[in-house]
């Protein structure tokens, strides 16, 4: 068994889509991880206990529930990183 923060998985899945929709955003790994970290800090942490792919259905339904929050958290994080890039 292990514990996973599925919010992290959902943010990483949506990161590309939102960054690609913001062409002025730097797409290097450093900035992408800064965006992911900022977005995750502003979202609730949601741990699931997982042993196999059995949690997948659960994650999918939670994806629906948090979809709008995640997109807006990433959008907000992009704005911050663009204003203050670490390089
Ligand atoms: Zn960059």
Cα(2) to centroid(ligand 1), Å: 32
For residues 26 and 23, give the distance between their C-alpha atoms in angstroms, rounded to a whole number: 8
Number of domains in the chain: 1
Instruction: State in Å: Cα 7 to ligand 1 middle.
Output: 23
Q: So what's the pLDDT on residue 22? A: 93
How far does the centroid of ligand 1 lie from the alpha carbon of residue 78, in Å?
A: 11
Tell me how far the alpha carbon of residue 74 lies from the centroid of ligand 1, in angstroms.
15
Average pLDDT over residues 41-60: 80
pLDDT higher at 60 or 14: 14
- The whole-model pTM stands at 0.87
* Residue 19 pLDDT greater than 90, yes or no: yes
Question: How much distance in Å is there from the Cα of 46 to the middle of ligand 1?
Answer: 28
Give the pLDDT confidence score for residue 85 in this predicted structure. 87
Q: Which domain holds residue 31?
A: 2-83
């Amino acid at each position: 068994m292990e514990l996973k923060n599925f919010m992290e998985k959902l943010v990483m899945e949506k990161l590309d889509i939102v960054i690609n929709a913001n062409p002025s955003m730097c797409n290097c790994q450093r900035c992408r991880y800064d965006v992911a970290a900022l977005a995750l800090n502003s979202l609730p942490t949601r741990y699931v206990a997982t042993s196999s792919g059995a949690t997948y259905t659960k994650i999918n339904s939670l994806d629906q529930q948090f979809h709008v929050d995640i997109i807006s958290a990433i959008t907000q994080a992009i704005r911050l990183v663009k204003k203050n890039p670490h390089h």
